[in-house]
Amino acid sequence: MKKILIANRGEIALRIMKSAREMGIKTVAVYSTIDRNAPHVNFADEAVHIGENPSNQSYLIGDRIIEKALELQVDGIHPGYGFLSENDEFSKAVEKNGMIFIGPGHEAIRTMGDKLAAKEAVKKYDIPMVPGIDEAVTDVEEAKKIAKEIGFPVLIKAAAGGGGKGMRIVDSYDQIEEQMERAISEALSAFGDGSVFIEKYITSPRHIEFQILADNHGNIVHLFERECSIQRRHQKVIEEAPSCVLDAELRKKMGESATLVAKSCNYRGAGTVEFLLDSEMNYYFLEMNTRLQVEHPVTEFITGLDLVKEQIKIARGEKLSWKQNEIRFKGHSIELRVYAEDPQNNFLPNVGKLSVYQIPKGDGIRLDDGYREGMDIPIYYDPMISKLITYGKDRNEAIQLMIKAIDMYRIKGVETTLSFGKFVCQHQAFVQGNFDTHFVKTHFNPDDLKEIKDEEAGWAALLALKLHHEEKNILRTP
């Protein structure tokens, strides 16, 4: 591959381009009208306009992106994550037009994109799954009967879902009808598919996922796990690698299950197999994400591998360079997703202009972003500004470095999740590793952030005063 098009925007487009450039591969950026001066557009070797601001008029129009790629004689297309990354028709169309889709085949995307089809595919490998039904249900009375057999609480989930959409927890028999209607409606709105299924709700789960790589020659390995239990609205905010609760034996078992999930759908490329881990350390297959994950940098830190480069190597037919027993991890890494959201107002988006944007730097600190000072956070896309990642020799060092990096990161003009990240890293439950996916509901009170913000404002005022005095002294020096 000599030239690839990145069918995405922002930090992930920029991150992919950097690895491609190091491999000597030219890059093409695509952009909507509002993104015309974005960093990923300026960094690319070539850039092409694909439509107006709403994603359904630009980044989601696969035919237009393919048309532009053909005009520019592109060899491959990398979808990043979000947008078209898990669209099997787009993957199929890319390859039909003689280009390489830097990701799995369309059959794997289709299978793993449907939760019921995914369950069916992995069933023959005897991988633990949450008790429930393996078929879609639309009849309320049938749903009530199934829920009663499984036992409350149950979870109603969209078969084509993801990101917490089309998901409802039901605690009692009389809630079934209302919650089912809501789940179906939300699933139709988000995915165009109202199919839902019912499974047992694991009350205090941890969310553990395994990074896998698979080549076109039948080789599959995992790159260990990521702990993703700190979430809001069923969506991740903080991830880390490795998990502080897995021992070597459980890690080996879960890793082997993850590679079997990949095998079940003839997977190729980078993917992530997600599990729920209950309080008794039993794990259950949840789903597979057939793309690069937002949180992939923590895996890169502990393994020393570049996952984008590995994706490109696999896509051009190369074999994996190592076997499972040759892969090691070292140290600990934590990632905070920095969203333009207000944690004091139920994490609602808080878009606007970045009037101040000063990034943290230093050993063990990595920042993947797609914005610069003075830019607007558009209302049209996901409000993530950046990913702040730290690495230390152990978990405590990574946590302390994250707190330091948050303090160094100055953003004004929008509310962000930085203060929430600092709250988590200073909370005893997180520090001690005693948490699950209900951390926010159990431990977080928006008023807790006021104290953090007041403290930060005090330090900022002292720093400004110190700088003022230093400047005065400099001016007085003859």
CA distances from 407 to 114, 456, 457 (A): 41, 8, 11
132 with 138: CB under 8 angstroms?
A: no
Please indicate, yes or no, if residue 474 is contained in any of the structural domains: no
Phi then psi for residue 170, to 5 deg, are: -120, 120
Residue position matching structure tokens 């790629």: 69
At 60, which CATH number? 3.40.50.20
Q: For 345-373, write each residue's pLDDT tens digit.
A: 999 999 999 999 999 999 999 999 999 99
pLDDT in tens, 362-421: 999 999 999 999 999 999 999 999 999 999 999 999 999 999 999 999 999 999 999 999
Q: Is residue 406 part of a domain?
A: yes
What integer pLDDT is reported at residue 471 of this predicted model? 60
Q: How many residues in the chain? A: 478
The CA-atom distances, in angstroms, between 217 and each of 214, 307, 318, 364 are 8, 18, 8, 35
Task: Check residue 131 and give its pLDDT.
Answer: 86
> 465 φ, ψ to 5°?
-65, -40
Task: Report the alpha-carbon distance of residue 128 to residue 222 in Å, rounded.
Answer: 18
Confidence bin at 458 (pLDDT 50/70/90) = low
Residue 203 in this model has a pLDDT that exceeds 80: yes
Rounded CA separation 409/369 (Å): 12
End-to-end CA distance of the chain: 62
Same domain for 192 and 237, yes or no, is no
* 143, 171, 200 - which closes a domain: 200
SS3 137: strand
Q: Residue 409 half-sphere exposure, CB side, CA atoms within 13 Å?
A: 29
Helical ranges in 136-283 per DSSP H = 140-150, 176-191, 248-264
Q: Is residue 326 part of a domain?
A: yes
113-146 b/e (C-beta count within 10 Å ≥ 16 → b): bbbbbbbebbeeeebebbebbeebbeeeeebbeb
Of the residues 49, 84, 102, the one at which a domain ends: 102
Q: Is 66 helix (H, G, I), strand (E, B) or coil?
A: helix
Is 468 part of a structural domain of the chain?
Answer: no
Average pLDDT over residues 215-236: 96
- Is the Cβ–Cβ distance between 406 and 344 less than 8 Å? no
Query: CA 64, CA 425: separation in Å to the nearest integer?
Result: 44
Omega of the bond leading into 205 within 30 degrees of 0 (cis): no
For residue 260, the model assigns a pLDDT of: 98
Average pLDDT over residues 45-73: 98
Residue 172 sits in the same domain as residue 212: no
CA distance linking residue 147 with residue 174, whole number of Å? 11
Report the alpha-carbon distance of residue 60 to residue 321 in Å, rounded: 34
Cα separation, 118 vs 134, in Å, equals 10
* Domain C-terminal end among 141, 168, 200: 200
392 and 305 in a single domain? The answer is yes
pLDDT band at 233 (very low <50, low <70, confident <90, very high): confident
Full DSSP string of 332-386: EEEEEEEESEEGGGTTEE---B-SEEE---STTEEEEE---TT-B--TTS--EEE
Tens digit of each residue's pLDDT (9 = 90 or more) over 89-107: 999 999 999 999 999 999 9
For residue 302, give its domain range.
Answer: 206-455
Residues 237 and 345 in one domain: yes
Give 132-183 pLDDT, tens digit per residue: 887 888 888 888 899 988 999 999 988 876 666 778 899 998 999 999 889 8
| Secondary structure tally for the chain: helices H, strands E | 16, 20
* 9 catalytic residue (yes or no): no
- Please tell me whether residues 176 and 78 are part of one structural domain: no
Mean pLDDT throughout 325-329?
97
Helices (H), 23-133: 39-43, 62-71, 88-96, 106-113, 115-122
Q: What is the CATH number of the domain that holds 179?
A: 3.30.1490.20
Which candidate in 291, 337, 366, 395 is catalytic? Answer: 291
For residue 346, what are its two tokens? 């139920």
Residue 239 CA to chain centroid, in angstroms? 9
Same-domain pairing of 252 and 398:
yes
Residue 114 lies in a domain: no
* Residue type at 313 in one-letter notation: K
Residue 304 main-chain phi, psi, to 5 deg: 75, 10
pLDDT of 15-45, one tens digit each? 999 999 999 999 999 999 999 999 999 999 9
Q: Quote the pLDDT of residue 359.
A: 98
Q: How many domains does the chain have?
A: 3
172 lies in some domain = yes
> Hey, what amino acid is at 231?
Q
